[in-house]
Chains A and B, each alone.
Chain A
Amino acid sequence: MEEVDVEPSPTLIPSAGFHQRHLGFEWGPGDLLVYETNYKLQGPRSAGSPFVHIVWKDEDICSPILRKLFNESHLIFVGLQKIKEDMPSKNKKSQFVSISKNYRSVIRACMEELQQNAVSTQEGSLASQYGDQVSILLAIELIWNLCEVLFIDAAPAGSLLLHLLDWVRLHKSDVDARAREVLQSDSPAHHQSYWDVVISLVLQGRVDEARQVLSKQASLRAESSSVFKRMDVLLHTMPIFNPTGTQTLTEFDVKWRHWHEECDRCLQDNTFASNRHLETICKILVGDEDTILEQKELLSTWYHFLVTRLLFTHPTIKPPDLHYYAQVHTTSPILLSLRYCYKQCIYHTCVCVCVCVSLWQLAVDYFDHCPEFGRVYLELQIERVPLDTERKAIKVLRICEDRQMSEQVRSICKIMAKRALRNNRLGSALSWSIRAKDAAFATLISERFLQDYCNKGSFTDLDLLDNLGPAMLLSDRLTFLGKYREFHRLYGENRFSEAAKLLLSLMTAKIAPRSLWMTLLTDALPLLEQKEVIFSVDQTYELMSCLEELNSGTKDSSQTDQDEDIESTKTELLRLALARNLAMAIVKEGTIET
């Protein structure tokens, strides 16, 4: 259906446009910011309005009524997806149908509540808001109804169209009111809506009623009565499929084609040339797309157009045909818009819902089932969900992880890690880096942990460090941190020989950074000074060579004389302790136990 290109009426921004002529803007999550400004940078300027205005494009969908609707429909939606997987296909259809009807009644209940509110509220703007919300829901219900009839309650051929017609009649009830008005008037045939009513009835396939109204005309004009009689016959003989009758579909089809040809012949013979209204009706009966399109005022919606066209061209259509019809006639604007509308409906629901802070999780489910762009839109929107708390971040993460959105996972974890680091929460920062698999950041945080240890003499976040598990392998520095903490733990538990072995391996396996070797060797001192021999001969030799390796390196020029003194004292102490240990170890290992 072509939409008339009318400019929407402007929304006015208060106290803007007086001092300065331009409006600046910025897109926000679900809203638009506008402010008065001036883009012409040269020239004299006076101050502008100091306000920044937040404009909502979509109505406030966070109202409790709509929120209830979203929650209920979400439950239904999710339940529906489950059924798709769980049940054997035979039983599914009746379930689907009842779910669908359930869904529509939920929508209708919500609409009624909104309508009541619209009527009862005092405030004008609130009333129109409610009114707009009702229209949106009405559109949703109509489209859903169509989808239900087409895809869910997939009637067999022949009856499908009857269902569709029922639904059009249900939703286009203004025709009845107008018909009554015309018939009850003094001179129905001269009523200004006369022909509109007749055509509307024909468009809805209500041929008997159309005949009834037409008869008012026929009785007036005797000379043209033959033309009217001809039309009456056409309408009277229009075959309507009776699903409960004995006629088969094939028989109906034959009859219908015959009748269709008859209508066409009338057009070819210019039977109705004398009366343009009757000519129009005949063209409609033949299913002429252009003529039907011309009646857009009466049809008012594209789905009405679709149903009418089907009625007069493919009355025996089955749902699978409709899909085929849609695919073959991909350029048909009507069918394109049907598909588009369906997608957009879901998408717009998602976006609206995304905006409402607490309903964003519902949106995700809907996005998942959005054909074509659902995944991309989800990726774009999910990144923007504010990560107010750790709990919320974890919820968002789980959604991303479930869908293998690895880049979004990494990004969210990185943001959380960075935030934790800014606030000096090292444990949290490390957890998040690990989850982000961000080796560089993990290294950085591990360094901070080690610095803290050097300064304070103890580790923080022991729970985390003790339970790193394989995550430790993310970065060398992290591995070292984990193992180093393990060393301290073993020492604390008096498991000295295990501690000793670990400490040595940290140096020999080059896991420990050179800069910390002195610290590690110093950690070895208490082990060397135990009464029992802990380090074996071989181990002692290794420690000695580590110490010498450390000392053979170039001197750190930034070291002060005092630092150098301390270093050489430490080295001396270590050499002494190592030598003593070596002696004791040799004796121990050389002694034969008796």
Chain B
Amino acid sequence: MFVAKSIAADHKDLIHDVSYDFHGRRMATCSSDQSVKVWDKGDDGEWRCTASWKTHSGSVWRVTWAHPEFGQVLASCSFDRTAAVWEEIVGESNDKQRGQSHWIKRTTLVDSRTSVTDVKFAPKHMGLMLTTCSADGVVRIYEAPDVMNLSQWSLQHEISCKLSCSCISWNPSSSRAHPPMIAVGSDDSNVTYSGKVQIYEYNENTRKYAKAETLMTVTDPVHDITFAPNLGRSFHVLAIATKDVRIFKLVPLRRESANSSGPTKFEVQVMAQFDSHNSQVWRVSWNITSTLLASSGDDGCVRLWKANYMDNWKCTGILRGDGSPVNGSGHAAALSAVGVPGAAQMLVGATSAGRKIAQLMPG
């Protein structure tokens, strides 16, 4: 592995999330500087910032793209207890020439009483639905019934998890064999409710979400959670970032006819567990085909995990910061990427950012 390119994101504070759009041609970054920036990849392979605007009155924790079937739509969530939906407006022709685009706020979701810790769009086959979770322990599912009018969103479901929530993940499967399913992770240190991962399933009859499973073996705070792409399997795979990396296999059990109205029962198995980070794991994420899992831990590393033909997992790659400070000379060394055109341009941007950082640092 090697670093092919470094982009100076130019946020004035910590970056908390970076999100690619569906096709990998656009990118959104969000920061404690309360803004979101959108980057577009040109035909020349270079990334350019095409929009930068203040989105919240607190740190922006996450930013995420809706499926392109719904247009160019972003959602963000923040410490300021709100989540927001943004849509790109096709601008004037001179805007296009300057390479700028405009994003306008379509709605603000203000139901949470505490910091909103995660925001995710539901799988597209469910329509345009947005989900948030908060430190107040509530998962909220909103829907935009008219996809042409993104200023109208209605709160369809409120799921009370009894524990402060840190992360959510929708099961991406669009198979009719599986009703909509969402996993919620909690970083609460509460001991009474010790299972920190809850799985809720939609019931067609009651038209509500009901709890299907609590993973009782996950008792430590959970920081991230993610379902793997389904690939036509009958079972579900869920990766969890907690005091280690854990991958669970959830096998739906066949319903007895008497009990067909309740949520699905699952057989829960641990597929893998990795403690190589030797510390808290903060993020986990599957690649598109679920052949690789990446995790990020307190050890400052990103690790890549792959299973072989016998479902034995091993670490196939590690990324780690080189611990060098951000400054003028540091950048010159950093941008030794192979054949990067416009590297000189990036260097200029980099050094000015470096100076800015130097100003912010105490002493």
Asked if B320 is an interface residue, CB under 8 A from chain A, the answer is yes
Asked if A220 is an interface residue, CB under 8 A from chain B, the answer is no
Q: Which residues on the B side are within 8 Å of A419 (C-beta)?
A: 68, 71
Q: Which residues on the A side are within 8 Å of B320 (C-beta)?
A: 10-13, 17, 23
Q: Which residues on the B side are within 8 Å of A19 (C-beta)?
A: 325-326, 357, 361
Asked if A463 is an interface residue, CB under 8 A from chain B, the answer is no
- In this complex, the interface size class of chain B, counting residues with CB under 8 Å from chain A, is 35 or more
Q: Which residues 441-492 in A have Cβ within 8 Å of B in the complex?
A: 444
Residue of A nearest to B125 (CB): A407
Asked if A222 is an interface residue, CB under 8 A from chain B, the answer is no
Residue of A nearest to B88 (CB): A422
Asked if B133 is an interface residue, CB under 8 A from chain A, the answer is no
Residue of A nearest to B22 (CB): A384
Q: Which residues on the B side are within 8 Å of A60 (C-beta)?
A: 4, 338
Q: Which residues on the B side are within 8 Å of A8 (C-beta)?
A: 315-318
* Min CB gap B343→A, angstroms: 13
Question: Is the CB–CB distance between A380 and B17 below 8 Å?
Answer: no
Q: Mark A195-217, 1 if CB is under 8 A from B, else 0.
A: 00000000000000000000000
Question: Is the CB–CB distance between A21 and B300 below 8 Å?
Answer: yes
* Min CB gap B64→A, angstroms: 11
Asked if A92 is an interface residue, CB under 8 A from chain B, the answer is no
Asked if B360 is an interface residue, CB under 8 A from chain A, the answer is yes
Of B105-113, B205-213, B301-309, the stretch lying at the interface with chain A is: B301-309
The SS class assigned to the A binding surface is: mixed
Of A26-34, A106-114, A134-142, A495-503, the stretch lying at the interface with chain B is: A26-34
Q: CA of A333 to CA of B310 in the docked complex: distance in angstroms?
A: 8
Question: Is the CB–CB distance between B314 and A24 below 8 Å?
Answer: no
Partner of A418 from the list B15, B70, B296, B362 (CB cut-off 8 Å) is: B70
Partner of B322 from the list A9, A16, A37, A125 (CB cut-off 8 Å) is: A16
Q: Which residues on the B side are within 8 Å of A126 (C-beta)?
A: 338
Quick one: given A7-B315, A336-B310, are A31 and B4 in contact (CB under 8 Å)?
A: yes
Quick one: given A33-B18, A48-B14, A51-B350, are A12 and B9 in contact (CB under 8 Å)?
A: no
Question: Is the CB–CB distance between B321 and A11 below 8 Å?
Answer: no
Question: Is the CB–CB distance between B325 and A15 below 8 Å?
Answer: yes
Question: Is the CB–CB distance between A35 and B9 below 8 Å?
Answer: yes
Asked if A56 is an interface residue, CB under 8 A from chain B, the answer is yes
Question: Is the CB–CB distance between A50 and B298 below 8 Å?
Answer: no
Q: Which residues on the B side are within 8 Å of A385 (C-beta)?
A: 23
Q: CA of A21 to CA of B9 in the docked complex: distance in angstroms?
A: 18
Question: Is the CB–CB distance between B321 and A12 below 8 Å?
Answer: yes
Q: Which residues on the B side are within 8 Å of A444 (C-beta)?
A: 148
Q: CA of A334 to CA of B360 in the docked complex: distance in angstroms?
A: 58
Asked if B319 is an interface residue, CB under 8 A from chain A, the answer is yes
Of A39-47, A65-73, A183-191, A398-406, the stretch lying at the interface with chain B is: A39-47
Asked if B231 is an interface residue, CB under 8 A from chain A, the answer is yes
Asked if A506 is an interface residue, CB under 8 A from chain B, the answer is no
Q: Which residues 118-174 in A have Cβ within 8 Å of B in the complex?
A: 123, 125-126, 129
Q: Which residues on the B side are within 8 Å of A411 (C-beta)?
A: 69, 124
Question: Is the CB–CB distance between B1 and A11 below 8 Å?
Answer: yes
Residue of B nearest to A15 (CB): B326
Q: Which residues on the A side are within 8 Å of B124 (C-beta)?
A: 411
Q: CA of A91 to CA of B334 in the docked complex: distance in angstroms?
A: 58
Partner of A340 from the list B5, B232, B308 (CB cut-off 8 Å) is: B308
Asked if B275 is an interface residue, CB under 8 A from chain A, the answer is no
Question: Is the CB–CB distance between B68 and A415 below 8 Å?
Answer: yes
Asked if B248 is an interface residue, CB under 8 A from chain A, the answer is no
Q: CA of A439 to CA of B174 in the docked complex: distance in angstroms?
A: 21
Question: Is the CB–CB distance between A386 and B23 below 8 Å?
Answer: yes
Question: Is the CB–CB distance between A47 and B360 below 8 Å?
Answer: yes
Asked if B10 is an interface residue, CB under 8 A from chain A, the answer is yes
Partner of A26 from the list B1, B19, B70, B335 (CB cut-off 8 Å) is: B19
* Min CB gap B317→A, angstroms: 6
Asked if B29 is an interface residue, CB under 8 A from chain A, the answer is yes
Q: CA of A24 to CA of B17 in the docked complex: distance in angstroms?
A: 7
Q: Which residues on the B side are within 8 Å of A384 (C-beta)?
A: 22-24, 288
Quick one: given A53-B6, A54-B5, are A17 and B360 in contact (CB under 8 Å)?
A: no
Q: CA of A384 to CA of B29 in the docked complex: distance in angstroms?
A: 20
Q: Which residues on the B side are within 8 Å of A505 (C-beta)?
A: none
* Residue of B8, B16, B19, B124 contacting most chain A CB atoms (<10 Å): B16
Partner of B231 from the list A3, A38, A373 (CB cut-off 8 Å) is: A373
Q: CA of A383 to CA of B22 in the docked complex: distance in angstroms?
A: 9
Question: Is the CB–CB distance between B315 and A34 below 8 Å?
Answer: no
Partner of B287 from the list A15, A27, A33, A373 (CB cut-off 8 Å) is: A27
Asked if A259 is an interface residue, CB under 8 A from chain B, the answer is no
Question: Is the CB–CB distance between A415 and B338 below 8 Å?
Answer: no
Q: CA of A36 to CA of B302 in the docked complex: distance in angstroms?
A: 11
Quick one: given A50-B8, A337-B309, A380-B229, are A29 and B324 in contact (CB under 8 Å)?
A: no
Quick one: given A10-B320, A14-B6, A50-B11, are A22 and B282 in contact (CB under 8 Å)?
A: yes
Question: Is the CB–CB distance between B231 and A376 below 8 Å?
Answer: yes
Asked if A414 is an interface residue, CB under 8 A from chain B, the answer is yes
Asked if A20 is an interface residue, CB under 8 A from chain B, the answer is yes
Question: Is the CB–CB distance between A37 and B16 below 8 Å?
Answer: yes
Question: Is the CB–CB distance between B7 and A423 below 8 Å?
Answer: no
Partner of A423 from the list B11, B79, B90 (CB cut-off 8 Å) is: B90
Partner of A52 from the list B18, B276, B361 (CB cut-off 8 Å) is: B18
Q: Which residues 63-83 in B have Cβ within 8 Å of A in the complex?
A: 68-72, 79
Asked if B3 is an interface residue, CB under 8 A from chain A, the answer is yes
Quick one: given A53-B6, A54-B4, A337-B309, are A35 and B18 in contact (CB under 8 Å)?
A: yes
Question: Is the CB–CB distance between A14 and B333 below 8 Å?
Answer: yes
Asked if B219 is an interface residue, CB under 8 A from chain A, the answer is no
Question: Is the CB–CB distance between A57 and B317 below 8 Å?
Answer: yes
Residue of B nearest to A438 (CB): B69
Question: Is the CB–CB distance between B276 and A7 below 8 Å?
Answer: yes
- Given contact pairs A10-B319, A32-B294, A423-B90, a sample of 16 additional A-B residue pairs in the complex whose CB atoms are under 8 Å apart: A13-B319, A22-B282, A26-B17, A27-B285, A33-B27, A34-B302, A39-B223, A41-B59, A47-B12, A50-B15, A52-B29, A54-B5, A60-B338, A376-B231, A407-B174, A418-B68
Pairs A–B under 8 Å by Cβ, sample size 22: A8-B316, A10-B318, A10-B319, A12-B320, A14-B3, A15-B326, A17-B321, A17-B322, A19-B325, A23-B300, A24-B16, A33-B27, A34-B302, A36-B15, A39-B296, A50-B326, A54-B6, A55-B2, A55-B319, A126-B338, A333-B310, A380-B231
Q: Which 4 A-B pairs have the closest CB atoms?
A: A17-B321, A14-B334, A16-B321, A340-B309
